[in-house]
């Protein structure tokens, strides 16, 4: 424990130090407020630029660190067209380098604003560079799965161990009592002292144990119980694939899209609002962003390959398409009907209720057991959200239940009847 | 009046044949070999030790391997680029056209899965026929041509185009005839393409050829009024309808439309205003229409002419030369009554005849003219364009072919090698034709004789339009990309005739832009877009002139009577008809239609010779005995079926069966009866005389009618006459003072269930239901009901969730209106000739105290708080106790894994046709029970839609599949908790009763009594 905290201390200290130096170093360059700069950067620049990567425009980190003439930079950012028109040699060179595509002009940014942005970019870039030098950062450990069944198993094991101890103690007591009965109380003190002092012959002990009927019975009982509970659990979980995480043809990171980028689930899974299928997005949805974003990534190249898209010519060739074969993760049996829109649009459930912390999943796995018990439990516990929905206005049942002060759950509205899902 | 009337489902039940009695003791046709197992018989069977060990080894190995794969890997393939309008899981609906009728096509993820009637369609107003419902399955038929063929070998379109164009140019240079033979084309754009083709090849001509022709009516109108049209009939404007063998509710011209019109004068609304039309039917075999008539008189085909002459005489008061009294006393009497009533209802009367004989139709025109029907019940100015077949032109074409005058022929949706009465002439003639092109999408008899097959798209893959009735223009739009390498026939014709427009879509667009859109007050791009949403335009109707018949009838009467004399004689008269399910046989490869029981005979998967029970007795025949029928130099062997109501001395045989070149579904089903047709006075005739010789074989028919017994209960069907109804609307329901109250308060065993939110119930009007069976197919399409095939139907294992029960009862005439139990002993033939028929759609009654629920040991069938009887398939272990305990016999057991069993693949239950399944309904596995779920997927979807839109559920918003397709609107579904709902109002009707009410099971489906308009005049 101690050694770990030591390592942590050393590590954090070095990081802090580096950060400090970096900050001071950048401070020497141009005085600006990095925090304000960050806000502005995200609002104005991210459409075309990244700090560490070429996007539509160049990577700004190296670009702004190499270029130290802040006055020129401010002018360029505010109105690059004017600089080019004025035949500023640096500006014209850049203009030519980037295929004469001019940058958007930002006359609304004051000098101070631009300074803030530059400060932010330089700080960020420096931090990144230093971090890269310090060695690759450790990836966060994925949380281990612990289902309720584990708890049950452990507590069962605990009970078994406890019972074992109790039986051992009782056995001793009985043996002692038996001896007491045969030899009388005076010998007792002597004998016990002797037993305590003598070294125990281990093999003999085992032999003795094997002859102990109670113990044999107990071991057998434990064995039967363990086997039985294992069978029970196995049978219960047959065809329950909770945690199923197949390898997908494209390593699509939900943590990046839904988590970091905060893209709404329905942007891609547009069916969830209107249909029984949430629907896997068609690849043209990906292309809304990935025509420009991360075009060089091998995963994105797979999209281009599937669509017959040539990033160089920016053209689609419909004869060169290849269907994308995702592996289905959530497999409801055919005889169970499930409708996403009922749950998402009408009941206003969050996707995460069933699909788990999808915004943190690098690769998606089946979060919920998808068993009928799981469905029914939720239907029994969840109140119907009927406020503001005129559909429920005429349903006398709702009013009666409310009058009685009852909770109107999905189950009370008939949500656990067979035919609601099986037809 | 509690009904003492005796109903029975089939003659077996009536006569209590030993086989029937024996079979009815069992719930399932074949007993389960329990005895065998218990006595060890099953164990004594020899299983060699090695085989046993092999099986054991394999079993253990397989189980281990199966267990290794922890999670089955399911691939999920999203769209690469999702079409904007598609949301996976949400259906899209597109308007289109089936047979001139506007429809809605339900698609899921770009696949059409269901046809639904278009609520604004002017023909059926939301109804759709069994054929329309079944047509979606044809789209996924694996037996369709998957590419063009040349001389039977698959080839490419370029080769076909190259060959045909070269040939056509050579033929053009040669100057011999080119013919396009099609069944009636009513699409303006198709007609335009054909006209353009003819312009390019001046020796070409277009011949409309209908397997079942209405040419007699067209020629009759030409003859009588100088207008060669098929009139538009208005059955809704007729107070009295007299039909001579016209099956207008089942097959005649536009049955869905006529059903809607007909029922509008007989349904609950009409009855409550104390109005009901009257319908008298004279016919040979029991047709759907005849079975719905108030009065039905069986007459022989030879008696039809004299009967019409007699009717004319009675109405006009004159006597046509050659008139003789009719031997058939009942018919003669009925003619007198009919004439009186027709005259009394002048201007609101309608006489129709199903005959294709010109003279007969001229006489009918004369009668209608006397009755003032023109301009009221018959519209000659806004004619029907559904049938324009010209028999004489086709016959001339056949002789042209035989003489070698035709060099090229194109068959568009026509199969004369099967349905022309002299198919040998077609085969011989085609040998002399240089270029023979068939546009058939499935292999048929004609395409097998052609050198080029240029397969047409299925209509759900096509652009196009249609014009069923003058002024009513509908549009076809594709709802799926072509499934196979096919091409629309119009596109082929345009290509071959070097049309300036390069694709048929532009042609259709152009046609609508220049002429059709304007008829509906639309124009331009926005007009076209509106059209693609509304589906049709309706031009203002032409105001009709009045038509008076002023021709001499003497020659006409002579022709009719001569024909009648030819038919009459010692020989058996044969009447040929279209069955409601199969029609002309073009859809023979559709298993949904093959398995749909014929409304009257309840026979599936076969045609047969229907014979009067008395004739059967006389000839010593029993059901299923095969007889050889010789007529017109052609003979077939068909099983006979005793059909109450069949005219004595006649047999009726359905056409449309016995296809020889067809997919596996239609192969070997029935025998072809088209060769019994004959040509007379320039039109095809549907009657013949035949000699019958029993072959001694017996080939049992797969009939569903007697799969359940009525068990002597008399609370299943309740009926009354209109006269009684007017006095007391509740007559016949058994509701009187001494009527026991079976409602909740007298029920001691069962606790009352709360229905806090909804109480889903259904009301079925027996007076509106015609028994056509469209609901059965619609239900199968909606609920993924499997097809089981003839053998399984014979074992009473059909799977339909809704069935139409057909009950016979004796005619009221004679012994005071009722036939008591004991009266069956003195059964005479006359009574069996004059049976009454009631149809009753029977589906799960969703009883409040359902007997099936209490006997299920695993609680697989339980009740919901919304009044539905739920069935959880995955919980069912297949004890079948529930089916045993169901008083309505509506539960079906899955004896096989129908959707995934090689034995049933032939019924289009293969990997490809899985695409037609409704993704919202589970396909049931072997060993579980199933039954009507009250389209619970539709209820759930309707509720969800309302929840999402944050509004209360509207009445009528949720429609059952059976209800939706019913042209007669006989079925109403809704929430009983809402007193203003349609269904609450319908159930509040005095006519409402519940089947087997006395069991106290509290059914959720109420029926309204059948009312017959039997007038006092008949007594």
From chain B, the residues in CB contact with A280 under 8 A are 76, 78
Please name which of B256, B142, B137 lies closest in space to residue B780, comparing C-alpha atoms. Answer: B137
Q: Where are the alpha helices (DSSP H) in B886-928?
A: none
Residue A8 has pLDDT above 60, yes or no: no
From chain A, the residues in CB contact with B75 under 8 A are 325-328
**Nearest CA distance, B859 vs chain A (angstrom):** 10
| Cβ contact B866–A277 (<8 Å) | no
Domains of chain A by residue range: 2-133, 152-236, 371-423
| Alpha carbon distances (Å) from A280 to A336, A339, B723 | 20, 15, 65
Interface test with A, best of B756, B782, B919 (most A CBs within 10 A): B756
pLDDT the model gives residue B66:
61
Lookup: tokens for B535: 């589906």
List, as ranges, residues 883-942 from B with C-beta within 8 Å of A. Answer: 920-923, 933, 936-937, 940
Residue A23 has pLDDT above 90, yes or no: no
Using DSSP's 3-state secondary structure scheme, residue B97 falls into: strand
| Cβ contact B88–A321 (<8 Å) | no
pLDDT tens for each residue of B62-106: 776 666 556 778 888 888 888 888 888 899 999 999 999 999 999
DSSP state of B950: T
pLDDT the model gives residue B107:
93
String of DSSP letters for B398-462:
HHHHHTT-EEEEEEES--HHHHSTTHHHHHHHHHT-SEEEE--SB--TTGGG-SEE-PPPPGGG-
Query: Of A342, A390, A419, which is closest to B952 when you measure between CB atoms?
Result: A390
ipTM for the complex shown: 0.82
From chain A, the residues in CB contact with B89 under 8 A are 271, 275-277, 279
Domain A2-133 in CATH: superfamily? Cytochrome c-like domain (1.10.760.10)
Interface contact B954, partner A, CB < 8 A: no
pLDDT the model gives residue A96:
76
pLDDT tens for each residue of B251-290: 999 999 999 999 999 988 888 888 889 999 999 999 999 9
Lowest mean pLDDT among B58-72, B131-145, B564-578, B842-856: B58-72
Lookup: tokens for B991: 């006519």
| Cβ contact B875–A418 (<8 Å) | yes
Lowest mean pLDDT among A229-243, B3-17, B99-113, B779-793: B3-17
Average pLDDT over residues B446-451: 91
Question: Which residue reads 């059976």 in tokens?
Answer: B962
Q: Considering only alpha carbons, which residue of chain A is nearest residue B937?
A: A423
Residue A122 has pLDDT above 90, yes or no: no
Do the beta carbons of residue B331 and residue B282 sit within 8 Å? Answer: yes
Residues near B999 by Cβ (< 8 Å), separated by ≥ 6? B851, B887
List, as ranges, residues 733-772 from B with C-beta within 8 Å of A. Answer: 756-757
pLDDT tens for each residue of B805-857: 988 887 554 443 333 333 444 455 566 778 888 999 999 999 988 899 999 99
Burial class (CB in 10 A: 0-12, 13-18, 19+), B274: exposed
Residue B542's region, left for phi above 0, alpha for psi from -120 to 50, else beta, is beta
Furthest CA-CA distance within chain A: 117
User: What is the Cα Rg of chain B in Å?
Assistant: 29
| Cβ contact A283–B80 (<8 Å) | yes
Q: Which residues of A130-141 are buried (b: 16+ CB within 10 A; e: fewer)?
A: beeeeeeeeeee
**Nearest CA distance, B887 vs chain A (angstrom):** 22
Lowest mean pLDDT among A126-140, B583-597, B828-842: A126-140
Residues near A235 by Cβ (< 8 Å), separated by ≥ 6? none
Lookup: tokens for B37: 């197992």
DSSP state of B825: G
| Cβ contact A283–B81 (<8 Å) | yes
Residue B347 has pLDDT above 50, yes or no: yes
Cα distance between residue B699 and residue B623, in whole Å:
9
| Cβ contact A277–B78 (<8 Å) | no
| Cβ contact A327–B76 (<8 Å) | yes
Residue B321 has pLDDT above 90, yes or no: no
Query: Of A324, A335, A394, which is closest to B78 when you measure between CB atoms?
Result: A324
pLDDT tens for each residue of A367-388: 998 889 899 999 998 888 777 8
Cα distance between residue B407 and residue B692, in whole Å:
42
- Give the model's confidence band at A112: pLDDT under 50 very low, under 70 low, under 90 confident, else very high: confident
C-alpha atoms less than 13 angstroms from C-alpha of A174 in its C-beta half-sphere: 8
Task: Name the average pLDDT for chain B.
Answer: 86
Lookup: tokens for B561: 């009577």
Other beta carbons within 10 angstroms of residue B913's beta carbon come to: 18
Residue A124 has pLDDT above 90, yes or no: no
Burial class (CB in 10 A: 0-12, 13-18, 19+), B378: buried
Burial class (CB in 10 A: 0-12, 13-18, 19+), A273: middle
Average pLDDT over residues B655-681: 90
From chain B, the residues in CB contact with A307 under 8 A are 80-81
Task: Please tell me which of A277-281, A399-403, B702-706 the model is most confident about, judged by mean pLDDT.
Answer: A277-281
Cα distance between residue A360 and residue A257, in whole Å:
10
Do the beta carbons of residue B221 and residue B229 sit within 8 Å? Answer: yes
Q: Considering only alpha carbons, which residue of chain B is nearest residue A416?
A: B864
Do the beta carbons of residue B1011 and residue B276 sit within 8 Å? Answer: yes
DSSP state of B745: G
Interface test with A, best of B89, B801, B958, B981 (most A CBs within 10 A): B89
Query: Of A390, A395, A423, which is closest to B922 when you measure between CB atoms?
Result: A423
Query: Of A326, A395, A423, which is closest to B933 when you measure between CB atoms?
Result: A423
CA B324 to chain centre: 38
| Cβ contact A423–B936 (<8 Å) | yes
Q: Considering only alpha carbons, which residue of chain A is nearest residue B83?
A: A282
Interface contact B74, partner A, CB < 8 A: yes
Q: Considering only alpha carbons, which residue of chain B is nearest residue A417?
A: B864
pLDDT the model gives residue A106:
82
Query: Of A281, A328, A334, which is closest to B75 when you measure between CB atoms?
Result: A328
- Domains of chain B as residue ranges with CATH: 7-18+707-1012 (3.30.70.20), 149-208+389-469+472-538 (3.40.50.740), 230-384 (3.40.228.10), 569-703 (2.40.40.20)
The reported pTM is 0.81
Cα distance between residue B515 and residue B542, in whole Å:
17
Cα distance between residue B811 and residue B996, in whole Å:
24
Interface contact B465, partner A, CB < 8 A: no
Please name which of B909, B908, B906, B889 lies closest in space to residue B897, comparing C-alpha atoms. Answer: B909
| Cβ contact B88–A307 (<8 Å) | no
- Give the model's confidence band at A137: pLDDT under 50 very low, under 70 low, under 90 confident, else very high: very low
Size of interface A-B (CB pairs under 8 A): 148
Query: Of B74, B81, B921, which is closest to A328 when you measure between CB atoms?
Result: B74
**Nearest CA distance, B902 vs chain A (angstrom):** 21
Residue B763 has pLDDT above 60, yes or no: yes
Cα distance between residue B840 and residue A384, in whole Å:
41
Other beta carbons within 10 angstroms of residue A146's beta carbon come to: 9
List, as ranges, residues 867-886 from B with C-beta within 8 Å of A. Answer: 868, 870-875
Interface contact B865, partner A, CB < 8 A: yes
Lookup: tokens for B216: 């007699």
pLDDT tens for each residue of B695-733: 988 888 888 876 666 666 667 888 888 888 888 887 777
Please name which of B835, B847, B839, B836 lies closest in space to residue B803, comparing C-alpha atoms. Answer: B839
Length of chain B, in residues: 1019
Q: Considering only alpha carbons, which residue of chain A is nearest residue B933?
A: A423
Question: Which residue reads 């005479």 in tokens?
Answer: B828
pLDDT tens for each residue of B249-258: 999 999 999 9
Lookup: tokens for B90: 């949400």
Query: Of A276, A306, A335, which is closest to B80 when you measure between CB atoms?
Result: A306
Cα distance between residue B118 and residue B132, in whole Å:
12
Q: What are phi and psi of B172, to 5 degrees?
A: -60, -45
The crossing angle, in degrees rounded to 10, of helices B774-783 and B130-139 is 40
pLDDT the model gives residue B85:
87
Interface test with B, best of A419, A420, A421, A422 (most B CBs within 10 A): A419
pLDDT the model gives residue B258:
93
pLDDT tens for each residue of B218-231: 999 998 888 899 99
Q: Considering only alpha carbons, which residue of chain A is nearest residue B79?
A: A282
Cα distance between residue B826 and residue B977, in whole Å:
49
Query: Of B78, B871, B948, which is closest to A341 when you measure between CB atoms?
Result: B948
Query: Of B70, B82, B947, which is closest to A389 when you measure between CB atoms?
Result: B947
pLDDT the model gives residue B440:
92
Burial class (CB in 10 A: 0-12, 13-18, 19+), B679: middle
Interface test with B, best of A391, A406, A413, A421 (most B CBs within 10 A): A391
Please name which of B504, B431, B466, B415 lies closest in space to residue B197, comparing C-alpha atoms. Answer: B504
Average pLDDT over residues B496-513: 90
Q: Is the dihedral of CA B568, B574, B580, B583 positive or negative?
A: negative
Query: Of B75, B90, B946, which is closest to A275 when you measure between CB atoms?
Result: B90
Cα distance between residue B839 and residue B766, in whole Å:
7
In chain B, the percentage of residues whose pLDDT exceeds 90 is 45
Lookup: tokens for B945: 């839609």
């Amino acid at each position: 424990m101690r050694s770990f905290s030591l390592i942590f201390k050393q590590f954090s200290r070095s990081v802090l130090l580096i950060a400090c130096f970096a900050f001071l170093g950048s401070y020497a360059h141009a005085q600006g407020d990095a925090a304000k700069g960050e806000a502005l950067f995200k609002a104005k620049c991210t459409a075309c630029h990244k700090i560490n990567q070429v996007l539509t425009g160049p990577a700004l980190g190296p670009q702004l660190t190499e270029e130290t003439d802040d006055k020129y930079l401010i002018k360029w950012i505010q109105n690059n067209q004017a600089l080019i028109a004025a035949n500023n040699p640096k500006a014209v060179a850049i203009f030519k380098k980037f295929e004469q595509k001019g940058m958007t002009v930002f006359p609304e940014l004051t000098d101070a604003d631009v300074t803030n942005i530059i400060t932010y970019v330089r700080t960020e870039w420096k931090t990144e560079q230093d971090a890269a030098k310090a060695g690759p950062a450790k990836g966060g450990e994925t949380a281990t799965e612990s289902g309720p069944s584990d708890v049950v198993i452990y507590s069962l094991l605990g009970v078994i161990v406890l019972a074992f101890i109790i039986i051992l103690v009782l056995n001793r007591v009985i043996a002692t009592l038996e001896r007491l009965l045969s030899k009388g109380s005076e010998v007792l003190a002597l004998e016990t002292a002797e037993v305590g002092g003598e070294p125990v012959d281990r093999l003999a002990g085992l032999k003795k144990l094997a002859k102990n009927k109670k113990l044999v019975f107990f071991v057998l009982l434990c064995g039967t119980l363990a086997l039985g509970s294992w069978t029970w659990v196995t049978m219960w979980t047959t065809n329950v694939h909770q945690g199923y995480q197949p390898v997908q043809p494209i390593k699509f990171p939900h943590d990046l899209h839904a988590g970091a980028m905060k893209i709404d689930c329905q942007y891609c899974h547009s069916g969830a609002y209107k249909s029984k299928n949430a629907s896997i997005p068609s690849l043209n949805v990906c292309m809304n962003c990935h025509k420009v974003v991360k075009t060089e990534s091998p995963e994105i190249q797979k999209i281009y390959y599937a669509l017959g898209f040539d990033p160089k010519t920016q053209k689609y060739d419909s004869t060169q398409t290849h269907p994308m074969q995702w592996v289905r993760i959530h497999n409801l049996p055919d005889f169970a009907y499930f409708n996403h829109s009922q749950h998402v649009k009408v009941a206003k459930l969050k996707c995460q209720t069933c699909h788990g912390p999808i915004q943190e999943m690098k690769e998606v796995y089946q979060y919920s057991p998808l068993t009928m018990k799981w469905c029914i439990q939720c239907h029994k516990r969840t109140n119907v959200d009927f406020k503001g929905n005129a559909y429920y206005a005429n349903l006398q049942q709702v009013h009666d239940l409310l009058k009685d002060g009852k909770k109107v759950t999905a189950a009370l509205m008939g949500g656990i009847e067979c035919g609601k899902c099986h037809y | 009046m509690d009904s003492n009337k005796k109903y029975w489902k089939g003659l077996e039940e009536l006569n209590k044949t030993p086989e029937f009695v024996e079979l009815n003791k069992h719930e399932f046709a074949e007993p389960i070999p329990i005895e065998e197992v218990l006595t060890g018989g099953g164990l004594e069977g020899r299983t060699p030790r090695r085989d046993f060990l092999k099986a054991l080894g394999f079993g253990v190995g397989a189980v281990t391997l199966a267990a290794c794969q922890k999670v089955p890997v399911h691939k999920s393939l999203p769209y690469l680029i999702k079409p904007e309008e598609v949301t996976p899981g949400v259906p899209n609906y597109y308007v289109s056209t089936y047979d001139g009728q506007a429809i809605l096509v339900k698609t899921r993820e770009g696949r059409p899965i269901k046809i639904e009637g278009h609520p604004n369609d002017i023909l059926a107003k939301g109804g759709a026929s069994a054929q329309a419902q079944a047509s979606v399955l044809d789209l996924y038929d694996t037996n369709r041509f998957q590419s063009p063929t040349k001389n039977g070998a698959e080839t490419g379109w370029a080769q076909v185009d190259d060959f045909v164009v070269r040939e056509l140019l050579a033929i053009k240079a040669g100057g011999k005839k080119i013919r396009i033979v099609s069944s009636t084309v009513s699409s303006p754009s198709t007609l335009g393409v054909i006209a353009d083709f003819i312009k390019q090849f001046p020796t070409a001509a277009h011949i409309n050829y209908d397997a079942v022709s209405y040419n007699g009516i067209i020629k009759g109108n030409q003859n009588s009024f100088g207008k060669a049209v098929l009139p538009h009939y208005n059955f809704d404007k007729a107070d009295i309808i007299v039909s001579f063998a016209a099956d207008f509710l089942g097959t005649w011209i536009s049955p869905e439309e006529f059903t809607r019109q007909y029922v509008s004068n007989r349904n609950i609304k009409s009855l409550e205003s104390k109005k009901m039309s009257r319908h008298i039917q004279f016919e040979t075999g029991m047709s759907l229409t005849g079975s719905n008539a108030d009065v039905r008189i069986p007459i022989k085909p030879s008696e039809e002419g004299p009967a019409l002459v007699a009717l004319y005489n009675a109405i006009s008061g004159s006597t046509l030369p050659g008139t003789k009294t009719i031997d058939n006393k009942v018919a003669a009497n009925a003619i007198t009554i009919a004439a009186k009533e027709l005259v009394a209802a002048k201007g609101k009367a309608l006489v129709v005849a199903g005959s294709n004989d010109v003279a007969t139709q001229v006489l009918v025109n004369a009668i209608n003219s006397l009755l003032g029907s023109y301009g009221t019940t018959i519209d000659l100015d806004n004619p029907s364009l559904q049938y324009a077949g010209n028999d004489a032109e086709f016959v001339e074409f056949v002789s042209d072919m035989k003489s070698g005058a035709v060099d090229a022929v194109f068959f568009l949706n026509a199969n004369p090698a099967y349905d022309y009465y002299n198919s040998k002439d077609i085969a011989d003639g085609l040998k002399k034709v240089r270029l023979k092109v068939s546009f058939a999408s499935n292999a048929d008899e004609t395409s097998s004789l052609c050198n080029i097959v240029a397969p047409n798209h299925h209509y759900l893959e096509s652009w196009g339009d249609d014009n069923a009735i003058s002024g009513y223009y509908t549009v076809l739009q594709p709802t799926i990309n072509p499934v196979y390498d096919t091409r629309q026939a119009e596109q082929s014709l345009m290509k071959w005739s070097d049309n300036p427009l390069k694709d048929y879509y532009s042609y259709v667009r152009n046609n609508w832009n220049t002429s059709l859109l304007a008829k509906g007050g639309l124009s331009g791009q926005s007009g076209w877009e509106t059209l693609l949403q509304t589906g049709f335009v309706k031009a203002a109707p032409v105001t009709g002139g009045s038509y008076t018949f002023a021709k001499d009838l003497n020659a006409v009467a002579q022709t009719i009577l001569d024909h009648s004399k030819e038919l009459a004689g010692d020989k058996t008269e044969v009447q040929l008809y279209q069955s409601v399910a199969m029609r002309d046989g073009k859809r023979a490869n559709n298993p949904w239609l093959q398995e749909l029981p014929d409304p009257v005979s309840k026979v599936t998967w076969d045609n047969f010779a229907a014979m009067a029970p008395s004739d059967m007795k006389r000839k010593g025949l029993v059901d299923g005995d095969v007889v050889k029928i010789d007529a017109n130099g052609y003979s077939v062997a068909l099983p006979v079926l005793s059909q109450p109501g069949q005219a004595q001395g006649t047999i009726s045989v359905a056409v449309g069966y016995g296809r020889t070149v067809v997919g596996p579904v239609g192969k070997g089903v029935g025998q072809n009866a088209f060769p019994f047709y004959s040509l007379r006075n320039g039109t095809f005739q549907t009657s013949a005389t035949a000699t019958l010789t029993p072959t001694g074989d017996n080939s049992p028919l797969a009939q569903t009618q007697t799969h359940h017994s009525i068990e002597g209960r008399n609370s299943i069907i309740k009926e009354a006459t209109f006269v009684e109804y007017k006095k007391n609307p509740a007559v016949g329901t058994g509701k009187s003072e001494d009527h026991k109250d079976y409602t909740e308060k007298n029920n001691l065993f069962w606790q009352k269930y709360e229905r806090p939110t909804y109480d889903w119930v259904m009301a079925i009007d027996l007076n509106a239901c015609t028994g056509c069976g469209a609901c059965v197919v619609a239900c199968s399409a909606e609920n993924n009901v499997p097809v089981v095939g003839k053998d399984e139907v014979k074992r009473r294992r059909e799977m339909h969730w809704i069935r139409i029960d057909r009950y016979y009862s004796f005619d009221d005439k004679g012994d005071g209106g009722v036939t008591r139990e004991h009266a069956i002993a003195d059964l005479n033939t006359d009574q069996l000739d004059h049976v009454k028929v009631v149809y009753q759609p029977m589906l799960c009654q969703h009883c409040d105290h359902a007997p099936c629920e209490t006997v299920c040991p695993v609680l697989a069938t339980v009740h919901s708080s919304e009044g539905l009887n739920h069935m959880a398939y995955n919980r069912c272990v297949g004890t079948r106790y529930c089916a045993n305990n169901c008083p309505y016999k509506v539960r079906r057991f899955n004896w096989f894994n129908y959707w995934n069993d090689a034995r049933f693949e032939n019924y289009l239950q293969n990997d490809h046709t899985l695409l037609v399944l409704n993704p919202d309904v589970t396909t049931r596995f072997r060993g579980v029970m199933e039954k009507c779920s009250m389209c619970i997927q539709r209820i759930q979807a309707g509720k969800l839609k309302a929840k999402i839109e944050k509004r209360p559920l509207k009445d009528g918003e949720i429609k059952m599949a059976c209800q939706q397709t019913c042209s007669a609107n006989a079925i109403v579904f809704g929430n009983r908790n809402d007193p203003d709902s349609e269904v609450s109002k319908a159930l509040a009707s005095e006519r409402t009763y519940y089947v087997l009410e006395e069991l106290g099971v509290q059914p959720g489906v109420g029926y309204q009594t059948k009312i017959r308009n039997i007038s006092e005049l008949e007594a």
